[in-house]
Each structure stands twice: as C-alpha cells, then as structure tokens.
Structure 1
C-alpha cells in the first residue's frame, strides 16, 4: 500500500482544494445534535443512483443519515446505535439505509474523508465508513489525519489506481457540493440528522424504531 499512502498524502490538499466550493456551501453546518426547524425549508432530496445505500434497495422504509466523518456525535451514533439498527432493520430487509455527507469542521479534513469514502465501491464502503468513524477519536488524539485516512483505505482495500482515478475526478467534488446543497435546502444544519421516508426524525434508537415500525405496520 506504499504507493497508495504516497498518493493519498499528496491528495489531501488537492482533494480539499478541489472541493473548496463545498466548504462555502457547508458554511452553515455545525457539529452536534440537530433538531428539525419549526418550519421545514424543503423536502429531503430523493434517493438516486449516486447515493451510497446499505440494505435491500427495495426495502419499504428508507432511512437517510446526513453525517460528517469529523463529527464526534456521528462517530458515537455509528458505534452505539447503528449496529442495533442494522441488525434489526437493515439486515432483515425492512430498511434501506442511505449515507449522505455534510462536512463539518475541520472542513478540509471532513471533505477529504468524504471523498475517500466515495472512492469505495458499494461493497467496500461499509468498511471504509467503519474505519473512519471508529478511528476518529484516535485521529484527534494523535493529530495524524493521514494515518486515519490510510487506515480507512486499507480497511476498504482501496487500490492506488482506484484512489487516483477517483480523487482526480471532478465529479466527486460536484457530488459533494450537490449533497450539501440538498441538505441545506431540506433545512439540515447539523450532524447527524435523520429522515425516515422523508420525515425528519430524531436519531436515537427508540425514535428511529418507532418511525420505522409505524411505517412497516402501515405497509411502508
């Protein structure tokens, strides 16, 4: 992986610069728990082929999460809530889970992590996300973001050619800008934020379970 490590180290600044428009678009985002505004700004964007989806694509319930790889609350949610949600609803075919990026401070790092995750195939993506979320605290303690990113690359078994092609693709930065704009249009201002079949929902397991089971009982 030495070639990948060398390339990724050089790509950190390049990727952050290429997605500079996303930094401005996401300027209103903040790290921490977020609550639905008193009046919805707009609808959450529909799921498309560009989204990263976990679970049965034809599941009756869709859970969309807006998250940042540098957000401590997101990492806690991923480690404490997501495993149970996955086991009970995603793995059983009742929920398709959609991860969307909403970078938070430090912007350059969160954007680069998001772009690295986007380089993963659908099969590689869960391992990359797990590595980024579970390694976040150590990254902050060690102040070594390159090791953190490389850990995710290695966990997902992303090849150097795969990384180079992806991170140099202008479409990756364009996706990030569009995703952040879609979040803002839907009134999302913080991470993690959740929607269940388009309705804003709190991210604790009880709230998600209540929303999901109600929809399942109603036939989706």
Structure 2
C-alpha cells in the first residue's frame, strides 16, 4: 500500500466503526423500503447550499431523495432506476437531483459512509456515491466495511488532507444531523423516500417519470 493510501486508511478508520459493525448479512441489515412518507407537521426542508445537487441548479423540477448507504433498497434503486432518470431528466437540464442522508442500520457505518460522501467536492461526489452503492452488496458478503469505505475514497480521488480536515470538522456532523432532523420533521420513515417539488412520490421509475413530466408540462 502506498504512503498516501496508508494515510487515507488511517483517517477513514479513525472515523469508522470496527469492521464487525457490518458483520451481518444483507438480510440482517435494515434495507429501507420504497414508500411515501407519513403525514408530517412540516414540509420537506427547502434546498440550500449545503445540499448535494446533481444537474442544473436552476432546473424547473427538484427531486429530493432521502437515502442510506447501508440500505439495500437504496443501492438497488441507484443501480436500476437512477441511470435512466439521470439520462432522461438530469443530464438534459430538466431536473435537479438532491441527495440527502438518512442513515439506517448498521447506523454507525451508514453515518461514516455519509460523512465520507459529504467530504467529497461536488465534482467528486457522484463517483463516491456510485462506489458506495455499487459496492454495498460485496461489503455485506465479505463483511469488510473498511475496504468498502476505502474504495469510495479512491473512486472519488479524495485527498488525505481534504478528508482529514473534513472528518475533523464539527460542521460535517452538524450537516448530517440536520439532514436527519429534516427527514424526521417531514415524516420520512424509511429509505429511499422521494419528494418532487416538495410533494412525496413513489420511487419507481414510472411514478417519477409521470410526476416529472406533468410538472414540466405545467411549467414547473
């Protein structure tokens, strides 16, 4: 292992729970589920500069996803639904896609993964998310959470100083806590959960396409 990789591993492992935290099968882990959120007393929080956004920031339609990097349904959605959504609506400037974190079991590991993703720049973020989601099944099979996290760091080309400064910054944890609180206030009870222009919608491709297309035809 190179010196840079060794340093990265040390930084990650200092923030991560022991590998044994992920020592369970995918079936034992909380997988989340696709559903509309329960009734909420407050609307889903507005998009801010702290959000991770893909696509045109001025797009007429906003899709917000609450997800967990340890949620099997989230990984499946990212692998099976997101590519088509991205190609049709995000890459064409019609949708801005907002990723928000709602860590699920094993919670400590999900929180660490979320912090690693948050440490990425806007340009690095998609690669980190792809690596975490695509590598999730192997992580559960091998029970090697450390390799999973390191794979995401390497995929995003996160630097040692960048990662260390971010993980040691109290603001990173505060932003994660704010995402969780906002989800709870909005009645989100599972992952992945989706909102389009503030309204809950099912996460299957047909439902997302129908809602987005209707809003675009109505001028957003």
Of 14, 22, 26, 1:10 maps to 14
Corresponding residue number in structure 1 for 2:55 = 55
Aligned residue in 2 for 1:17? none
Q: CA deviation at 1:11?
A: 2.2
How far off its partner does 1:34 sit? 4.3
Number of residue pairs aligned between Structure 1 and Structure 2: 205
Q: RMSD value over aligned CA atoms?
A: 1.3
Q: Is 1:170 the equivalent of 2:170?
A: yes
What is the match of residue 190 of structure 2? 190
| Inter-partner Cα distance in structure 2 for 1:38 and 1:186 | 8
Contact 2:61 2:96 in 1 (8 A): yes
Partner of 2:114: 114
The alpha carbon displacement at 1:13 in A equals 4.0
* Residue 32 of structure 1: how far off its partner (Å): 2.1
Residues 1:153 and 2:159 are matched in the alignment: no
Alpha-carbon spacing, 1:121–1:59, altered in 2? closer, same or farther (3 Å): same
Correspondence 1:192-211 to 2 at 5 A: 192-211=192-211
Sort the Cα spacing of 1:160 and 1:100 in 2 relative to 1 into closer, same or farther, 3 A.
same
Q: CA deviation at 1:2?
A: 1.9
Q: Distance in 2 between matches of 1:106 and 1:165?
A: 25
* Superposed CA offset, 1:22-44 (max 9, x none): xxxxxxxx642243356333200
Correspondence for 1:45? 45
Task: Give the match's secondary structure for 1:190.
Answer: coil
Please give the secondary structure, in 2, of the residue aligned with 1:116. helix
Gaps of 5+ in 1: 15-29
Contact preservation (8 Å) 2:132, 2:148: yes
- What are the residue-to-residue correspondences of 1:84-99 with 2, within 5 Å? 84-99=84-99
Structure 1 runs of 4+ aligned residues shifted over 4 Å read: none
- What is the TM-score of this pair, normalised by structure 2? 0.90
SS at match of 2:16: helix
The alignment's TM-score, normalised by the length of structure 1, stands at 0.90
Q: Counterparts of 1:118-133 in structure 2 under 5 Å?
A: 118-133=118-133
Deviation of residue 136 (structure 1)? 0.1
Q: Secondary structure at the match of 1:191?
A: coil
Deviation at 1:174, TM superposition (A): 0.6
Match for residue 74 of structure 1?
A: 74
User: Structure 2 vs 1, CA of residues 53 and 130 (structure 1 numbering), >3 Å: closer, same or farther?
Assistant: same
Kindly indicate whether residue 141 of structure 2 is the aligned counterpart of residue 141 of structure 1: yes
Work out whether residues 34 and 189 of structure 1, in 8 Å CA contact, stay in contact via their aligned partners in 2: no
